[in-house]
Homo-oligomer: A and B are copies of this chain.
């Protein structure tokens, strides 16, 4: 067979040649803009040409601090295809972490949205490698800024070569992208994506048994493009000629619902928090969601009630999946098997609420206290993954040795796997509650609590216990209408029939909100500290 490289250039070129008429709808600060792939792919060539003129050479990192819009999409392809590395930076991190990341990656140029300029200005004095800032603005003039030197994205493009030729000496294992993932302690950890990894992951997104992304789709990644490449959706979409809708900055559930309706979105992707918000909007408003063939949900486990509400109340298929920054991210996805389709509604929901089965191309194993666990849906173990779109290390980081061992990524996620191979996340290894030598899943308890009509959000954390080592405590945010009207006893009674006696939390505390990470996950460590202090104070 030919030794042609699996590089991203072919992905652009397919869109350019076969799908020039297809559309990218981009929402920016100034409103909705529409482009064809003919325009977008020409702008990609212009951007690559501009970067070359600015002196960027092979393997150098270019950072982006940007929302989901067409210019960010252009950077997604122009940077790797001109031989450099697309470094997407999570703008929800602290200025300290952002400075760390930019210095650690040695970014040469930063592409930044105008509204993010003030954040970046706070970091600028710390930055050691950045030679230029390119501001991605709709305005004719650059905003006033202390950043220097600054360039105007559109001015650069207007002076650039629309026929720029991408180099053909890129190896499929060359770095194409990178993204830092926040760590529980210490600085964020960098993950490097190769051309090969991105191409194969894109292929996986197109499989009929996976997300089945297709030219016929109108895809809207709501998950930020600064987070795990918006789950790879922009890459795959361009390759397949899929129309894209990019929802831009500061969107609301209302705006998401309107975009889906107006642009006839067929598939969208985001974290449970987004879908909780949209659900409320759909329940209260009146929208036509009939174009949607699927809502892809990952990032953290979606409560069963959420899946049920989407499917039964709004007739929107809800596709549960699992992955992480280190895994590009798609690893498992919850499509029913052919012979499960005939099961009754509750049984099907039970399966769909799991994260799903392995996508073709990867390998997984689940390692418990005594080696690989039984596939019985009960025994818990840590999920380990390998495959061509799984990171092999953290970039220049000694924490590599903790997570990457014996050829496997040890995810730190505790799961069960059932007879049919469906993986269910039950906890993070560090959030598991170890009570009397047994494991209690905080996630199972949280999902059960969140199924109660009064509960808006719930987290369960461990507190130290003399006799049992650790015991669970429920932390609950009640819905507005239920505040002051729902007791902890009522919630505990609600849990009792659902779990073994020793799983029931020792206490419930009511909170106004639950602290979260920049990507919307519960910050359990700080929650645990807070709960422990509160309990001590009450003694």
Contact = CB atoms under 8 A, between A and B. Distances in A.
A10 interface: yes
Nearest to A201: B1
A447 B380 CA distance: 62
Contact of A214 (B208, B357, B392): B208
Nearest to A392: B2
A389 interface: yes
Interface stretch (A91-99, A190-198, A308-316, A487-495): A190-198
Contact of A207 (B2, B203, B339, B363): B203
Given A14-B360, A421-B18, A209 B1 contact: no
Interface string A412-436: 0000000011000000000000000
Interface string A198-217: 00101110111100111110
Contacts of A409: 2
A387 interface: yes
A4 interface: yes
B215 A21 contact: no
A208 B212 contact: yes
A456 B91 CA distance: 68
Contacts of A130: none
Given A18-B421, A337-B215, A206 B2 contact: no
B212 A212 contact: yes
A379 to B, nearest CB: 16
A170 to B, nearest CB: 14
A197 B2 CA distance: 9
A185 interface: no
B240 A18 contact: no
Contact of A206 (B4, B209, B216): B209
10 contacts: A1-B197, A2-B388, A2-B407, A6-B388, A200-B203, A206-B360, A207-B208, A208-B212, A209-B215, A215-B338
Interface of A: 1-4, 6, 10-11, 13-14, 17-19, 21, 173, 192-194, 196-197, 200, 202-204, 206-209, 212-216, 239-241, 243, 328, 335, 337-339, 357-358, 360-361, 363, 386-392, 407, 409, 420-421
4 A-B pairs with the lowest CB-CB distances in the bound complex, closest first: A1-B197, A208-B214, A208-B212, A18-B421
Given A1-B192, A206-B360, 20 more contacts: A1-B193, A1-B194, A1-B196, A1-B197, A1-B328, A1-B389, A1-B392, A2-B386, A3-B388, A4-B388, A14-B360, A18-B358, A21-B339, A200-B203, A202-B360, A209-B216, A212-B212, A215-B335, A239-B360, A240-B360
